[in-house]
């Protein structure tokens, strides 16, 4: 989790530098007196906005729909509980039974194959909970109107 957060910050810093350095260099080359440097509030908004592409201004919604935010956070919680239920009911019994037996390759392969479907279900739940619900909830709280998370 910490590594994913650090990668996200590095990608955002790269985008910020890539968008602003050419602007500053062109104003230095033209020897114009004004250099457009983004404000701290623009950079902070970019750090929390669910996007990796820096822009000075993003499309914004006029209001925050708090019922939508509550619904998305409820869906995140529901997804986490459902993933926990799948893990406890379908994955843990497989490995608990294999830990009581002597090690053999056939038992390990059967245990892995029996865990593939629950693992895929958990992967889909994590995708739905984070990329759909979590990002949409934070986009709504920040009034971020561009919701193209899947592109």
Instruction: Please count the CA atoms within 13 angstroms of the CA of 71 that sit on its side-chain side.
Output: 7
In Å, how far are 32, 50, 92, 109 from 8, measured between CA atoms? 34, 10, 32, 36
Say whether pLDDT at 70 is over 90: yes
Q: Report residue 95 as tokens.
A: 């490995």
Q: How confident is the model at residue 149 (pLDDT cuts 50, 70, 90)?
A: low
Q: How confident is the model at residue 32 (pLDDT cuts 50, 70, 90)?
A: low
pLDDT for the residue 18: 93
Q: Report residue 134 as tokens.
A: 């979590």
CB 95 within 8 A of CB 114: no
Say whether pLDDT at 151 is over 70: no
Question: In the 8-state DSSP scheme, what is residue 63?
Answer: S
């Amino acid at each position: 989790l910490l590594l994913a957060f650090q990668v996200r910050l590095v990608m955002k810093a790269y985008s910020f530098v890539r968008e602003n350095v050419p602007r500053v260099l062109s104003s230095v080359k033209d020897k114009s007196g004004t250099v457009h440097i983004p404000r701290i509030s623009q950079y902070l908004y970019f750090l929390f906005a669910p996007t990796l592409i820096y822009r000075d201004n993003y499309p914004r919604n006029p209001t925050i729909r708090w019922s939508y935010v509550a619904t998305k956070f409820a869906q995140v919680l529901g997804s986490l509980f459902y993933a926990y239920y799948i893990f406890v009911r379908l994955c843990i019994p497989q490995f608990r039974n294999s830990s009581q037996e002597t090690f053999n390759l056939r038992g390990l392969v059967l245990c892995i194959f029996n865990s593939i479907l629950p693992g895929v279900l958990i992967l889909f739940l994590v995708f739905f909970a984070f990329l759909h619900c979590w990002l949409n909830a934070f986009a709504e709280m920040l009034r971020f109107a561009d919701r193209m998370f899947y592109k």
